[in-house]
Structures are given as structure tokens and as C-alpha cells.
Structure 1
């Protein structure tokens, strides 16, 4: 169901600019649901928004994934196999994204929809079939999938996660660029409702900060949250 309203955030007449970093296990069903919640949120905001979806996975997170899949934790072969398959999925997503951000997201969604609940069927052949299904250049994709450049992109995502104090997936980091404040990290309950609450709190902090500064200078400033009805084009 498409929302009939949008929210616009402004400070001193200038629209706020939000940036979202969503860190995911590219084969995680829970992460897939959070992606859907995030894009529902983006549809609600008329202010400028930029979204980054980054794969984040390491050995310390394997236990969480094993628990979700009801796999015995002492099964070393299964642990290693899970790690390798999620690593392959991460590289595949990065390789697909090299043919366009939208294609990358389309690839990620199809991969999660198809294999989140049957990871044992996820192979390199499956990856190539997904690439064909969304219509990207398979030869270029295969080359990028095995390239050092794609691996470097993946490692860069891991460093970004560490710099943002991300501990597990899914995790969402929210920035608002006018405020200059540090990002807000959500590790749990990444829903449209909770994301909007965090944004409201962030804007309120920005307003309070500006108000305190303006009182000292005897200058009037204003932050606003405007809810406007969307036109029905249907």
C-alpha cells in the first residue's frame, strides 16, 4: 500500500539531508525485511535522502547466523561453508553494483528472496543465474566477481562498519548533514516506525542546539517537520 503523505524536514528554510547506511548479511532473511522497512521510510520523506546498503560479515557473526538457521554451533564444516557462501554473496552484490546502484539492489533483493531460506543451494552457478535473471552483462559480472577490485570494495565496507561502530547485522546508521552530529546506530527493531522516531529525535536535537545558540545571539531560527498529502496519480 502506497502512503498518501510525505514528511519534509527543514531548518531555516533549507531541507534537511539524510544519509542511511544499512549493513546487511546478503543472505539473511531478517536483513531483507529491514531493507524493505528502510525503503518504505525513504518513500515517506520528501527531503533529500541517500541510501547505502553494505554487506558486513565476519567469523564473529557466524554464530548469530547459525542460530537463525538452527544449525549446531559445533559443526565446523557447516560454519566454514556458511561463511564462504555469505562471502560469495557479498562479492556478487558488489560486482552487480558495478553495473549500477539500482541493478545492485535488484540483484540483492532477488538473491535474498530466492536463497535466504535455502542457503545450501547457493552456489556460483546460482549467482550467474541471478545475474542473467536481472539482465546484467554476465561476462563483465563474472570478471568483476573474481577481481581484486571487488574484493577491495568488500573490505572497504568492512572498515566502514568498524568505523561506524557496527557490531552485527542488520544495523542502520542515520546521518543528517546539516546538524554535523555523529550518526545514530540502530541494531534492533529496524522498522519504518522506529526509523522515523529516530529522525524526529535527531531533528529535535538539532533544533535545541540551534535555539541555544540563537538565544545567545538574539537571532530567531526555526526547524520544521511538514507533513503533506501526496497527489493521487492513480
Structure 2
């Protein structure tokens, strides 16, 4: 089984496309994959997504609005995770990104609540969780994980294969189907095993664009 840590911009178009690609590929290859979604809010990711959507980020108002929306979406995700578990939180985040993917709708707390209701999640329960002190602790824990894995761009994916001990593969940025196929198929055949040994201070590098070992 593969375990993925998917570090994403909660509102990012590239992140949504990568998530969808991983889902489709897992179904096609009949792979058992556990995905941990970790939404992060960074200036670089916000600007990159605004460029991809042809939005102007060269004004403080536009960037501030995007930042506020990102923080709100991130908070809703973790509130759902705390109140209902990771599976519901993943479903909420994917639905949110899907609803924003065509550019016809803009993020708002009202949209978030609409999606919560479509998933049979009680908005009032989420509202109380948003004000819970543990929310900041959960977000801080995942931010610490991002620092541990040295995440510098979004999306980034960390892949672990439970058949290979003490190993991890970091896939930086946007990925093609070929990139993902190379990781999942080669790992399944144990072809990556000699390359996937962790080193304490000197990480090894896998000779394909976007990929390096932890």
C-alpha cells in the first residue's frame, strides 16, 4: 500500500488537478493508496495560482482577498477533520476545489457551508469547531510536518511504500501521468528500492524531473 502526504494550496487549481489525477490513476492501476491532505497557505502558491487563473495579483486588495479566502478554506477543512474525521474533510476540500475549478464561482464562507450541507455536515457544529483552541494546534502540527519534509512548492507529494522500510519520495510541483506511473509502477516492482534509502544529512536524488528522495 502507498501512503501519500499531499501538500496543497487549499484553493489551488493545480492542486485540484493533481488530486483528481491521483484518484483516477489509483483506480486504473487498482492501487491501494491512503492520501493525507495537508493544505498550506503560502504567498508563492497564492501568486502562482492567481497567474494560472489569469487573475491580477499585483494589487494588495486582490492578494489580501485571496489570502483571507485561503485561510478560511484551510480552517474549514481542519474543522471538518476535527469534527467528522479525515475522510469527510477530504471530501469537503475536493468538492470545494471542484466548485472553483471552472472560474464561475468565487470562494466564500457561504459556499463552504453550502458544500458542508451537501455532505450532511452540520454547519453549526463546524462553526463551533472553528472557534476551538485545538484548531490552531492541528494546523501547526501539519505545518511542522511540511518543514520536516522540506516542502518548498505547492503542490508537493510525499510517497511512502509500506513494502520498503525507511523510505520516502518527494515529488515537487505539478506532475504528469508519466511521473506518477513511474513512481507507482516501478515501486510496485521494487525497482526503486536501491534508491529509496534514507540518509540522515545527505538526501539522495532520483534522476527524474520533480522527484527526489527524503
User: TM-score if structure 2 supplies the norm length?
Assistant: 0.78
Displacement of 1:180: 2.5
How many residues in Structure 1 have an aligned counterpart in Structure 2?
Answer: 194
Matched, 1:30 2:14: yes
- Does structure 1 conserve the Cα–Cα contact (< 8 Å) formed by 2:7 and 2:39? yes
1:107 equivalent in structure 2: 92
2:129 equivalent in structure 1: 144
- Does structure 1 conserve the Cα–Cα contact (< 8 Å) formed by 2:5 and 2:159? yes
- Structure of greater relative contact order (alpha carbons < 8 Å, 6+ residues apart): 1
- Does structure 1 conserve the Cα–Cα contact (< 8 Å) formed by 2:9 and 2:45? no
2:53 equivalent in structure 1: 69
Matches of 1:61 and 1:24 in 2, distance apart? 9
Displacement of 1:46: 5.3
1:80 equivalent in structure 2: 64
Displacement of 1:135: 0.7
DSSP-derived class of the 2:97 partner = helix
Matched, 1:187 2:182: no
For structure 1, list consecutive stretches of 5 or more residues without a partner in the other structure.
Answer: 1-16, 210-234
Matches of 1:208 and 1:22 in 2, distance apart? 21
Displacement of 1:117: 4.4
- Does structure 2 conserve the Cα–Cα contact (< 8 Å) formed by 1:128 and 1:142? no
- TM-aligned CA distance change 1:49 to 1:113, over 3 Å: closer
Matches of 1:208 and 1:101 in 2, distance apart? 31
DSSP-derived class of the 2:151 partner = coil
- Does structure 1 conserve the Cα–Cα contact (< 8 Å) formed by 2:81 and 2:88? yes
Structure with the larger strand share:
1
Instruction: State the Cα deviation string for residues 112-169 of structure 1 (Å, max 9, x = none).
Output: 1212444873222222222112111222111112323223222222221221122121
- Does structure 2 conserve the Cα–Cα contact (< 8 Å) formed by 1:18 and 1:49? yes
- TM-aligned CA distance change 1:157 to 1:117, over 3 Å: farther
- Does structure 2 conserve the Cα–Cα contact (< 8 Å) formed by 1:21 and 1:174? yes
Instruction: State the Cα deviation string for residues 173-206 of structure 1 (Å, max 9, x = none).
Output: 1112342344211124434442231234442132
- TM-aligned CA distance change 1:62 to 1:207, over 3 Å: closer
The match for 2:182 among 197, 207, 232 is 197
1:158 equivalent in structure 2: 143
- TM-aligned CA distance change 1:41 to 1:126, over 3 Å: same
Displacement of 1:102: 2.3
For structure 2, list consecutive stretches of 5 or more residues without a partner in the other structure.
Answer: 197-214
Moved more, 121-130 or 135-144: 121-130
User: TM-score if structure 1 supplies the norm length?
Assistant: 0.72
